[in-house]
Chain A
Amino acid sequence: MSEPPGATVTLPEAHATTEPPQALTAQRVQPLRRPGRWIATAVVLVLVAQFAHGLVTNPFYQWDRWSYWFLRPTILDGLLITLEVAAYSAVLGLVGGVLLALARLSKSPVLRAVSWTYVWAFRSIPLIVVLIFLYNFSALYKTLSVGIPFGPAFFSFDESKLATDMVVAVVGLSLNEAAYAAEVVRGGILSVDQGQHEAAAALGLPKGYQFRRIVFPQALRSIIPNYVNQLIGLIKGTSLVFYVSLLDLFGSAQTMGSTYPGDIVPLLLVVTVWYLILTSVVSVIQFYVERYYARGATRSLPPTPLQKLRTGLTDLRARIRREAAV
């Protein structure tokens, strides 16, 4: 350390004495060997095989009971309820979310504050609390009336007739979903370049057209992945409607489970597989919707799985031919 700088410099003297490089027999570069990767792959494969083996052979899972239950009408009725509740709530939640996002982005401080408060409240309250609260709502407000605020009423509805279990479930999930969707939509709208708003304004496009045809379709590109995430959460969230006495997929399985206690595990597996199927369907739809809204955003569209498979096979064939030639 105490040596003066430059003292340890070695001169590049070896240069002149090295032998001239040997001529190459082939120009082809050999890929680096990666033994670590092979070992890791082997370990993971063994673990996966063990798990699969256990899944199939462990009698605890009772796969025969699983196949008995999988397409039972009770389960399918439950599935239908789950689909219905999820579909209504997804649409209502998205509509509510768009409105809340627009209110939050508006120039009116009152609209902004109301939107912010709504999102704050419904993101804070657990969904199960909202649902049970609504379930008891008809006890709090006996009638719903349409009329002049604080003045006479024109129409009145008996709340207990209006609020069926289905309505309670859909309203509860939608209220919750809208709060999350609002933030997803708001983020999407903010991600659209300011120049797009300016260009639309400079062309004198009507305000509604600007939003529907220029800003929102571009916002959808970033809204879709986030909203699908929400949607999957919502589908699983529907399992809570069991607590407002609606027999959805999970609810039906629960009920059957208490009648046939020996079948609890296969029934849970039935539910699991159905939720897996629902999520998979949503993911496939997501891929194609995203691909549709990617028009213009990228120079060429991402390939569909089928196209990927085809190019993959072509590449493989070309590679085999190349290897064979060498």
Chain B
Amino acid sequence: MTAKTADAPADVEAATVEVHDVHKWYGSHRVLDGVDLTVRPGEVTVILGPSGSGKSTLLRVINHLEKPEIGHVSINGEPIGVKRHGDRLKELSERAILTQRGRIGFVFQNFNLFPHLTVLDNVAAAPVATGRLGRPEAQELARELLGRVGLADKTGAYPRQLSGGQQQRVAIARALALRPGVILFDEPTSALDPELVGEVLAVIRDLASSGTTLVIVTHEIGFAREIADRVVFIDGGKIIEQGPPSEVLDTPRHERTRDFLSKVL
């Protein structure tokens, strides 16, 4: 990885993320059952939990890809997807939600790059479409971001011509193009061949040290230990315990956390 970490421009103000008593259910199945969480600016939070525990859903609630039935999320104090109306919460218009999402980066497990656009256009699309930048400025920004993830030479390629690791790095550059205050990672390395995991983790490490708020769902326990300021363990739609990695990963207090760690370590 050629990206520099020390002098990476800290031009984005890191955001605070607050999850307030979020409940989410599909039919009678409770996916999230009263989750409260606060992520401080610049903090790196890693969410761990068995599959089906609700960790991906929690991440998708944060940028309102999933609507919670009860509760809400706020970023820098501003509720996401809803607005306060007296003592109630009202749903926002779709347009307003889309605008809010510009402040939240999201990186998918399966990259979800736009296959019909070049790498450069994938990264430049959002700033142009949302009217933040003109086309030339957006392309310049895209070039800079692709350089930062070590793909300056791939601007003209189409996503399917790249390896999985390269695609995920493009996806990260795409998320960065809107200069989000927080970036959410949904199992960013789960779809990758083992030898490609390292290059993606290196980019995330670079972001962590540049001071952006990160929330990462992952199965890479070693990476969590190295990078996380805080580890949150979720099971059955509830936060079981949270704290610095040295506590949660090395001396877990709860039986369920111990049980999970013994299976994955």
> Which residues from chain A sit less than 8 Å from chain B, CB to CB?
193, 195-196, 198-207, 209, 213-214, 217-218, 293, 295-299
Contact = CB atoms under 8 A, between A and B. Distances in A.
Given A293-B116, A296-B115, A203 B125 contact: yes
A244 B101 CA distance: 55
A296 B160 contact: yes
A200 B102 CA distance: 11
A20 B27 CA distance: 73
Interface residues of B, number: 31
Nearest to A297: B115
Contacts of B125: 203, 205, 213-214
A201 B108 CA distance: 12
Contacts of A218: 114-116
Contact of A204 (B108, B115, B126, B158): B126
Given A205-B126, A206-B130, A198 B100 contact: no
A293 B130 CA distance: 25
B116 A297 contact: yes
Nearest to B94: A207
Contacts of A204: 98-102, 126, 130, 178
Contacts of B70: none
A198 B112 CA distance: 8
9 contacts: A198-B108, A199-B112, A202-B65, A203-B101, A205-B130, A207-B94, A207-B95, A214-B114, A299-B161
B251 to A, nearest CB: 36
User: Helix, strand, loop or mixed for chain A's interface?
Assistant: helix
A196 B130 CA distance: 17
A297 B65 contact: no
A203 B126 contact: yes
A107 to B, nearest CB: 11
Contacts of B114: 196, 199-200, 214, 218
Contacts of B1: none
Contacts of A299: 160-161
10 closest A-B pairs by beta carbon, nearest first, are A204-B101, A199-B112, A296-B158, A202-B106, A195-B112, A204-B102, A203-B126, A204-B98, A296-B115, A209-B129
B260 to A, nearest CB: 27
B167 to A, nearest CB: 12
B129 A297 contact: no
Contacts of B63: 202
B65 A201 contact: yes
A295 B158 contact: yes
A198 B113 CA distance: 11
Interface in B54-99: 63, 65, 94-95, 98-99
Contacts of B8: none
B65 A298 contact: no
Nearest to A203: B126
Given A195-B108, A198-B112, A295-B116, A203 B159 contact: no
A211 to B, nearest CB: 12
Contacts of A196: 112, 114
Contacts of B112: 193, 195-196, 198-199
Contact of B129 (A193, A199, A213, A296): A213
B53 interface: no
Contacts of A217: 116
Contacts of A213: 125, 129
A298 B102 contact: no
Nearest to B126: A203
Contacts of A209: 129
Given A198-B65, A299-B161, A205 B115 contact: no
B116 A206 contact: no
B230 interface: no
Given A201-B101, A207-B95, 14 more contacts: A195-B108, A195-B110, A199-B108, A202-B104, A203-B174, A203-B178, A204-B99, A206-B130, A209-B129, A218-B115, A295-B116, A296-B115, A296-B118, A297-B115
